[in-house]
């Protein structure tokens, strides 16, 4: 006999998943960026090292957001799919990055900070939407 998971309001579940997604994404992005910098410290890449660290942070953000969502959901005994969370995080993050490349950015400045914040938010939301997608397809 399987235990019945407790019924929580959907808003509470989604808020917890968003918080876990943001925390997991930021933590894994920071760790991967640091590890890439540490691993390639002796190599003379110049600014190429910074580029590799940014790519590692983007990958870490998407994977960490999906893992954070899955861990919080497992803790709350909520159903979902980790693979869909990873796909949603990657898809939403790439969508913002591709759309930002079509806009003339010019001098960047404050606009680039806003686009980075939008990419982080989209990745976190994409992870939560992707994780919960199988739940809503059943209805």
Tell me, rounded to whole angstroms, the distance of Cα 27 from its chain centroid: 10
* pLDDT at residue 119, rounded to an integer: 85
For residue 79, what are the domain limits?
10-137
The answer to whether position 17 is within a domain reads: yes
Model's pTM, two decimal places?
0.84
Number of domains in the chain: 1
The answer to whether position 5 is within a domain reads: no
Q: What share of the chain is helix, strand, coil (3-state, %, to 5)?
A: 80, 0, 20
Q: What distance in Å separates the CA atoms of residue 121 and residue 27, rounded to the nearest whole number?
A: 15
The answer to whether position 3 is within a domain reads: no
- Residue 67: phi and psi, rounded to 5, are -65, -40
The answer to whether position 1 is within a domain reads: no
pLDDT in tens, the chain (139 residues): 566 666 888 889 999 999 999 999 999 999 999 999 999 888 888 888 888 998 899 899 999 999 999 999 999 988 889 999 999 999 998 888 787 766 655 556 666 777 778 888 999 999 999 999 887 776 5
* pLDDT at residue 51, rounded to an integer: 87
The answer to whether position 91 is within a domain reads: yes
């Amino acid at each position: 006999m399987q235990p019945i998971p407790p019924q929580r309001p959907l808003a509470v579940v989604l808020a917890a998943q968003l918080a876990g997604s943001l925390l997991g994404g930021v933590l894994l992005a920071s760790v991967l960026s640091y590890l890439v910098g540490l691993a390639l410290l002796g190599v003379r890449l110049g600014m190429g090292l910074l580029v590799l660290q940014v790519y590692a942070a983007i990958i870490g953000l998407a994977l960490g957001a999906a893992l954070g969502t899955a861990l919080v959901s497992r803790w709350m005994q909520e159903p979902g799919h980790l693979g869909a969370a990873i796909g949603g995080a990657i898809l939403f993050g790439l969508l913002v990055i591709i759309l930002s490349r079509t806009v003339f950015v010019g001098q960047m400045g404050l606009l680039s900070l806003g686009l980075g914040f939008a990419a982080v938010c989209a990745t976190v939301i994409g992870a939560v939407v992707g994780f919960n997608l199988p739940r809503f397809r059943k209805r």
